[in-house]
Amino acid sequence: MVLMNPVISKLTGKLVVLASASPRRLEILTNVGLRFEVVPSWFKETLDKRLFKTPHEYAVETAKQKALEVKQIYTFECLWFLNFGYYLLYTVLVVFFSQTVDGLILEKPVDKQDAYRMLSRLSGKEHSVFTGVAIILCHEKEDEEIDYQVIDFYEETKVKFADLSDDLLWEYINSGEPMDKAGGYGIQALGGMLVEYVHGDFLNVVGFPLNQFCKKLGLIFSPPGSLTHNSAQTSPQGSPVDTVPPCSENGEDEPQGTSDPAAPDLTSRGTMQMQNVRENETEDGKEKLSKMIELMDGFKASKVLFTASKLHVFDVLRSSKTGELQAEDVAQEIKASMKGTERLLEACVSLGLLQRTGKEYANTAMSRHFLLSDGPLSLQGYIQHCNELVWPLFTHLETAVREGTNQHEKAFGKSSDNLFQDAYYSRHEVKLRFMKAMHSIAKVSGRDVATAFDLSKYKTACDLGGCTGAMAYEFAKAHPGLSVTMFDLPEVIEMSGHFRPHDADDRVSFVAGDFFKDELPKADVYILARILHDWSDEKVHILLSKIAKACNPGCCVLVSEIFLDEDRKGPSRGLLQALSMTEGRQRSASEYSLLLKSHGFTTAQVKHTHNLLDAILCVAE
């Protein structure tokens, strides 16, 4: 490829890192002569799509977060080379691939039914394929430290599917090809038979926008002065971004070479020897090792988040005029040491909580949405709860497992029959902290729970143990014909005014009482959000019996909890939470269904919201 020849010479002796293990990207980049090391990112592709105005913004932000994560791994390796007198540039390249149809973002299917859902939606329609690319260009500063820039861009390609029969779709799905591909198809293989036409970069649909990537490299390595220390390029579609690797024609199949043949021989250095060991490992072995490291270091990441939140780092950055501050300014604001603050900020950058440009730190989109104390979707209350209550309990996990009891006495110096009762009857600040935690969970998950089912035929609802009323307000907002009563202990009702929204709906009312002892308000729908998992089987049956007695035929119970996978192999949040050893237990959707059936309720629908809480709707017989 003539286009890439001038660029390749610029990359002599430079380490290029590809933060993706996609075999399609490896093949495309290897075929054009790019030599690189593969270090897959473990950043979870779970950014809230609702927070992005366009699909390409979602793809680019995901790519950027993956790149920043992998960049952290290599920072010290680069410094090692600099100390030996080499100028070593390394580039982290990340691609995130998504497809859209009817405004929905389609990623990889989770099973065959999901693949069918995607492909049948694409049938007979034109859709867009977006690839977000993030490049991190590292270079040496005068003080022999590593500085970096982030450059990102995206590519869009239009693809039209033919009208597809169910037989053809299932034949393709049963081939197994759709399961690891965004949108559920691979255009370069059997999936090509589904496609009527393509407008744009074909390789973008395969997995990598090679044409625009090469153009970016041309801009990056153009004559001196075209990319200065603090400058940023802007893509034709796009946003300021950072830079990436090379290309040239070379039929090698080996995708993990690390330097141009003309580069200085660095293989005698310890770091490069370690790299060669990694090259000889299988991809499966690397993935297992990365997962193991992630598990071992997981507690450190949690404590970084807790500490940054407690020190109000995210609020401090937001309050500055530009939204950016240097480490010394942050240290002064949070009244901490310069050394400790700088290390905390860098750790936050590596976790995707902050971003850094030169010496300036700023919040990421994720932290702006979830970590500002006064944000509408703030999780600060729950984070503080985890830091002050859950973390101390889990430091005594070994004893908790041996004894099968919670470690409240060891962690806090006093026993408690029930942590929630202890919170409600304790000091004002402890009670308020607990309510803030419950409020933040309800605010983040409430909309998805409230809209999980069509409740238009019901007129009244009762949110049992609704704490601050956040969930009740979400149900009233989602269902204009529904009046909601929030029922909780008198001590809770007293403090619920602290959380009353400025636009509070008058269809939400508050009634004080104990749902184990007092008569329940009459309602068509009883909402149990994060209630059943906390109580013993005996108390759960007492509560459900009372609800069943209050219900007329056709009334319903809506239970919202973390649903365990039926085989206990899926997401682990519920299983980890169970280790706090409350008297209750976590259940799967089918277990909740059987529990409610034993009290005369038939399961109507189950909804996995992909938020903090799932939901099940059961109707009284």
Catalytic status, residue 498: no
Whether 398 and 391 have beta carbons less than 8 Å apart is answered as no
Close Cβ partners of 589 (under 8 Å, ≥ 6 residues apart) = 563, 566, 606, 608, 614, 616
Instruction: Please indicate, yes or no, if residue 499 is contained in any of the structural domains.
Output: yes
**Quick one: average pLDDT of 593-613?**
93
Residues 81 and 51 in one domain: yes
**Quick one: average pLDDT of 328-356?**
95
Decide which of 248, 280, 312 is a domain's last residue.
280
Share of the chain residues as helix, strand and coil, in percent rounded to the nearest 5: 45, 20, 35
Burial of 485 (0-12, 13-18, 19+ CB in 10 A): buried
Tracing tokens 């059936």 back to the chain, one arrives at 597
Instruction: Please indicate, yes or no, if residue 415 is contained in any of the structural domains.
Output: no
Burial of 107 (0-12, 13-18, 19+ CB in 10 A): buried
- Strands 483-488, 508-512: pairing is parallel
Q: Using alpha carbons, list the distances in angstroms from residue 424 to 37, 235, 412, 436.
A: 54, 55, 16, 12
Close Cβ partners of 471 (under 8 Å, ≥ 6 residues apart) = 442, 446, 449, 450, 463, 527, 529, 560
Residues 489 and 578 in one domain: yes
Tell me the per-residue pLDDT of 41-52, one tens digit each, with 9 for 90 and over: 777 767 777 788
Residues 364 and 495 in one domain: no
Residues paired with residue 618 on neighbouring β-strands, in sequence order: 557, 603
Please tell me the predicted confidence (pLDDT) of residue 187. Answer: 86
- pLDDT exceeds cutoff 60 at 259: no
Residues 238 and 301 in one domain: no
Give dist(CA 52, CA 83) in Å, integer.
Answer: 42
The overall longest dimension of the chain from CA atoms, in Å, is 82
Residues 146 and 15 in one domain: yes
Coil, strand or helix: which one is 129? strand
Whether 323 and 289 have beta carbons less than 8 Å apart is answered as no
Residue 111, both tokens = 């099973």
pLDDT band at 217 (very low <50, low <70, confident <90, very high): confident
Residues 300 and 257 in one domain: no
Pick from 187, 127, 182, 202: nearest CA to 159: 127
Give dist(CA 89, CA 70) in Å, integer.
Answer: 15
521 DSSP 8-state letter: P
In this structure, what CATH number is given to the domain that contains residue 313? Answer: 1.10.10.10
Instruction: Please indicate, yes or no, if residue 37 is contained in any of the structural domains.
Output: yes
Residues 460 and 584 in one domain: yes
Taking all residues of the chain, what is their mean pLDDT, rounded to a whole number? 79
Has this prediction a pTM greater than 0.75? no
Please tell me the predicted confidence (pLDDT) of residue 526. Answer: 98
Residues 552 and 615 in one domain: yes
Pick from 125, 196, 124, 198: nearest CA to 165: 124
Which residue out of 127, 369, 408, 533 is catalytically annotated?
Answer: 533
Give dist(CA 122, CA 162) in Å, integer.
Answer: 9
Q: How many domains are there within the chain?
A: 3
Tell me the per-residue pLDDT of 484-528, one tens digit each, with 9 for 90 and over: 999 999 999 999 988 988 888 899 999 999 999 999 999 999 999
Close Cβ partners of 170 (under 8 Å, ≥ 6 residues apart) = 116
Instruction: Please indicate, yes or no, if residue 352 is contained in any of the structural domains.
Output: yes
Instruction: Please indicate, yes or no, if residue 176 is contained in any of the structural domains.
Output: no
Please tell me the predicted confidence (pLDDT) of residue 35. Answer: 73
Give dist(CA 489, CA 512) in Å, integer.
Answer: 5
Query: Is the model more confident about 12 or about 586?
Result: 586
Decide which of 280, 295, 320 is a domain's last residue.
280
Residues 229 and 86 in one domain: yes
The C-alpha angle 300, 304, 306, rounded to 5 degrees, equals: 115
Distance of CA 28 to the CA centre of its chain: 28
**Quick one: average pLDDT of 448-457?**
95
Full domain range(s) for residue 466 = 448-620
Residues 257 and 295 in one domain: no
Residues 35 and 151 in one domain: yes
In this structure, what CATH number is given to the domain that contains residue 251? Answer: 3.90.950.10
Decide which of 255, 280, 305 is a domain's last residue.
280
Please tell me the predicted confidence (pLDDT) of residue 453. Answer: 96
Per cent of the chain over pLDDT 70 is 77
In this structure, what CATH number is given to the domain that contains residue 497? Answer: 3.40.50.150
Residues 203 and 342 in one domain: no
The single-letter code of the amino acid at 131 is T
